Structure 1
């Protein structure tokens, strides 16, 4: 009998701060997400450290007393990585490394590391490498001596582990080369998009890990990689889908996340072009996540930044099978009823009142309400197609049985 291979997770701790702009609830939410990111990268969080301060310490992010507490824990528990929730300045990272003498990562570095793991195609690898080099450039001082002590594991994938003697000039040359390479690939992808003809284009967008790839697999009957980890999909997948007798192109795009590194938004510009050129957006939301409304706001913000805020959009609330509202006991007179206690029916009414019939509630995994979903997408695609080609007539799916 074959033995199951155990995964050797790297031990890590998380560090966050409660400030004037981030209250305790918000920090805990961010750290929950950071823990999931750490797990996705191959780490196991052993402890969280949180400090309340007006603004992060410009030298070491947290105060000296809290830093000593972190240092003791790191030494006593042989921690491999200390991960900070916000992007550290090069000076902060250098100062913290001197004190803790272990791998120091921030949220941006961790996300870039996950992207380096997930990049499958040459195009995705080029995009990630460019983002990593742009992130590393101001951090070269002291980084290489740190890499001599620590090799492998979280944060060590990609260009950071290739050449210890790399200097700024070589990195700048590499960045320029990668940008030229991306421009060339962008032109090729633009040509590919142009060659797809006049088919209506539909793009799945949404926060990371909301079930876009699962939905893509169900609709297009294709095998797109789907996993309960953040950023399971990096490369945009485009499939021709036929509902009834109406064909259209469906693309699955990279998931968004709060505090998405600006380097990634820029280097993944072409991936986001699939969203820009789409005729219809299906904004997939994980309604079972307690902070799904914040996820919606984050996605809408990025859509606004890339000029897609006004695009025709259907909100697709996924994972209704996993939605479980918090309950209040009948004799509980203290707890105030909030949106966390809403039933699924109440959420439906709330969103129907907000956006009318542009909201759908489904479970892609259990295939619940998918017929309603298909009919809605068919209607929208048909309207776009009829506007573009007024002399082409299409039947509704339920009419096809008569022919």
Structure 2
């Protein structure tokens, strides 16, 4: 099991896609948010440990692919028999670029704070607390406007990086994506034209392994490829294309930050 997780981590790192780990106390609505952001149907249940293993899918962030991982829910005083399995699954969080901590806003304020402290303590224990943490303050559909305002204010001592949402009703998810984009957008879009030969086909295979290929077209004796990649990978592709006698161009795509509302 650990070997499989490690292989998945290595592939995600090689592809260079930004990644998010969904974390949070059990029954905070992580799986509902995961489903809302990815369109992926996952088991949603009120029972503890409904999510026992990680699930990773691609979500669309203003046209950019981002990997989103749903992890096991945190809990106080975890039974000793589950500690090892719980910890090894949670360690997926360490390998993400951003931790999205889902908090149930509908609970009493003292309970919210207790569970939030539990989550932060768990992140500290697995060595993830130094990473960027974004709080998704979930289930706001169950609160009045006044209640929500008071609860957000009370959590200010823990973090100001908080977005109120309702995963179930998909309320304020655009604002959540806007905040995520500030942390994760780092891919560049480019187009490639290379002559078709044995070397170019093997090079195309390499591109598939290291970038997100959007489109491939065959025109006369050339391949035309549109792709997204990290800047360092894009530069390697550029040099490879030039060595093959092809053409490389960074596309003047509109910056994703221009899509982020102030």
Shorter-normalised TM range: 0.5 to 0.7
1:283 maps to what in 2?
101
Tell whether 2:27 aligns with 1:190.
Answer: no
2:153 maps to what in 1?
349
Contact persistence 1:246–1:394 (CA under 8 A): no
The 5 Å alignment of 1:51-90 reads none
SS in 2 for 1:343: helix
More deviation in 192-201 or 294-303? 192-201
The structure with the largest alpha-carbon Rg is 1
CA–CA distance in 1 between the matches of 2:158 and 2:120? 15
Residue 256 of structure 2 is aligned with which of 387, 396, 399?
A: 396
CA–CA distance in 2 between the matches of 1:292 and 1:360? 15
Greater share of strand: 2
The 5 Å alignment of 1:261-340 reads 261-290=79-108, 291-323=111-143
1:34 maps to what in 2?
none
Q: How far did residue 354 of structure 1 move?
A: 5.0
CA–CA distance in 2 between the matches of 1:399 and 1:244? 8
Q: How far did residue 244 of structure 1 move?
A: 1.0
Q: Residues 190 and 361 of structure 1: is their aligned pair in 2 closer, same or farther, counting only changes over 3 Å?
A: same
Residue 375 of structure 1 is aligned with which of 178, 185, 199?
A: 178
CA–CA distance in 1 between the matches of 2:72 and 2:171? 24
SS in 2 for 1:276: helix
1:233 maps to what in 2?
51
Q: How far did residue 289 of structure 1 move?
A: 1.4
CA–CA distance in 2 between the matches of 1:294 and 1:275? 21
More deviation in 254-263 or 285-294? 254-263
Q: How far did residue 200 of structure 1 move?
A: 1.1
Q: Residues 277 and 399 of structure 1: is their aligned pair in 2 closer, same or farther, counting only changes over 3 Å?
A: closer
Q: Residues 310 and 262 of structure 1: is their aligned pair in 2 closer, same or farther, counting only changes over 3 Å?
A: farther
SS in 2 for 1:263: helix
Q: Over residues 200-221 of structure 1, what are the superposed CA-to-partner deviations in whole Å (9 max), with x where a residue is unaligned?
A: 1100000000000000000000
SS in 2 for 1:314: strand
Residue 255 of structure 1 is aligned with which of 52, 70, 73?
A: 73
Q: Residues 225 and 398 of structure 1: is their aligned pair in 2 closer, same or farther, counting only changes over 3 Å?
A: farther
1:36 maps to what in 2?
none
Contact persistence 1:204–1:250 (CA under 8 A): yes
1:204 maps to what in 2?
22
Query: Which ranges in structure 1 are unaligned for 5 or more consecutive residues?
Result: 1-184, 326-341
CA–CA distance in 1 between the matches of 2:120 and 2:156? 18
Tell whether 2:38 aligns with 1:220.
Answer: yes
Q: Residues 360 and 298 of structure 1: is their aligned pair in 2 closer, same or farther, counting only changes over 3 Å?
A: same
SS in 2 for 1:251: strand
Contact persistence 2:113–2:155 (CA under 8 A): no
Query: What CA RMSD, in Å, does the superposition of the two structures yield over aligned residues?
Result: 2.6
Q: Over residues 73-131 of structure 1, what are the superposed CA-to-partner deviations in whole Å (9 max), with x where a residue is unaligned?
A: xxxxxxxxxxxxxxxxxxxxxxxxxxxxxxxxxxxxxxxxxxxxxxxxxxxxxxxxxxx
The 5 Å alignment of 1:89-238 reads 185-196=1-12, 197-238=15-56
SS in 2 for 1:285: strand
Q: Residues 389 and 350 of structure 1: is their aligned pair in 2 closer, same or farther, counting only changes over 3 Å?
A: farther
Q: How far did residue 273 of structure 1 move?
A: 2.4
SS in 2 for 1:195: helix
Q: How far did residue 353 of structure 1 move?
A: 6.5
Structure number with the bigger relative contact order (C-alpha 8 A, sep ≥ 6) is: 2
